[in-house]
């Protein structure tokens, strides 16, 4: 399995996390073209990050192509079914990306900056996946969340990303609250995964990286 330059994937994720709030503040977040661009950029760079991954690349390419097609159909036909399908495919694609990235990070033999960036990418991908899961849950089971400002918008609504990363880092501001049993389960599972990931994997890699530099 070939090595991957995770800086490209990190750039795409940072673009996603900054572009969505900016588009929201500029009142562009409701424009279909904005969501389509963000969706396509994340998929394309995600596929590029799987280059050299063998079956991961093949599966990711298939999911990306079908996902882009479904997303375009959802925009053109304003179809709920296509919207749901593209959302599920994107979640599946991100799981494939996480699996490949995590294998490179955990089983890599060389401690370098690229490996640390891969670990950061996995953390950010977890936040994005949960944001999409929260959005999908609200679409399937309305009123699963109570919020000061409504966030029952499209899957790329800024509120879902905000709530996801607030939960992942256990900040818990309380302006968005999970109400249904499923929503609460997703929230506390995300908090647990986020804390264990940072405590076990990232801290271990950073420590190994520092030790390696001091020893060289």
Given a contact cutoff of 8 angstroms between Cβ atoms, the answer to whether 114 and 5 are in contact is yes
Q: Which pLDDT band holds residue 4 (cuts at 50, 70, 90)? A: low
Please give the Cα distance from 79 to 107 (Å, whole number): 42
Tens of pLDDT, residue by residue over 17-47, are 887 777 767 766 555 566 666 667 777 777 7
**Average pLDDT of every residue of the chain:** 79
Q: Which of 140, 130, 14, 24 is nearest to 83 (CA)?
A: 140
Q: Which helix (H) or strand (E) holds 186?
A: helix 181-196
Averaged pLDDT for residues 106-123: 79
What are the start-end ranges of the H helices in 50-109?
A: 55-77, 80-107
In this prediction, residue 1 carries a pLDDT of: 42
Could you tell me the residue ranges of all domains in the chain?
6-215
Between 184 and 103, name the one with better pLDDT.
184
From start to end of the chain, where are the E strands? 145-147, 176-178
Between 89 and 74, name the one with better pLDDT.
89
Residue 96 phi, psi (nearest 5): -65, -45
One of 2.60.40.1180, 3.30.413.10, 1.10.287.70, 1.10.10.10 is the CATH number of 6-215, namely 1.10.287.70
Tens of pLDDT, residue by residue over 125-180, are 999 899 989 988 988 888 899 876 666 555 456 788 889 999 999 888 888 899 99
- Beta strands 145-147 and 176-178 are antiparallel
Given a contact cutoff of 8 angstroms between Cβ atoms, the answer to whether 187 and 144 are in contact is no
């Amino acid at each position: 399995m070939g090595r991957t330059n995770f800086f490209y994937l990190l750039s795409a994720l940072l673009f996603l996390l900054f572009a969505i709030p900016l588009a929201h503040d500029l009142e562009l977040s409701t424009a279909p073209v904005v969501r389509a661009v963000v969706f396509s950029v994340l998929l394309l760079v995600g596929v590029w990050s799987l280059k050299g991954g063998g079956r991961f690349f093949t599966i990711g390419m298939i999911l990306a192509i079908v996902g882009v097609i479904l997303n375009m159909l959802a925009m053109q036909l304003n179809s709920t079914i296509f919207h749901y399908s593209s959302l599920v495919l994107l979640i599946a694609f991100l799981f494939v990306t996480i699996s490949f990235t995590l294998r490179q990070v955990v089983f890599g033999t060389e401690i370098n900056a690229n490996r640390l960036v891969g670990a950061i990418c996995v953390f950010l991908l977890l936040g994005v996946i949960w944001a999409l899961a929260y959005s999908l849950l609200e679409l399937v089971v309305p009123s699963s969340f109570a919020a000061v400002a409504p966030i029952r918008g499209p899957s790329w609504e800024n509120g879902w990303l905000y709530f996801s990363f607030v939960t992942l880092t256990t900040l818990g501001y309380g302006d968005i609250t999970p109400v249904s049993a499923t929503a609460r389960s997703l929230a506390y599972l995300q908090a647990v995964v986020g804390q264990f990931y940072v405590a076990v994997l990232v801290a271990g890699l950073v420590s190994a990286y520092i030790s390696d530099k001091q020893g060289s």
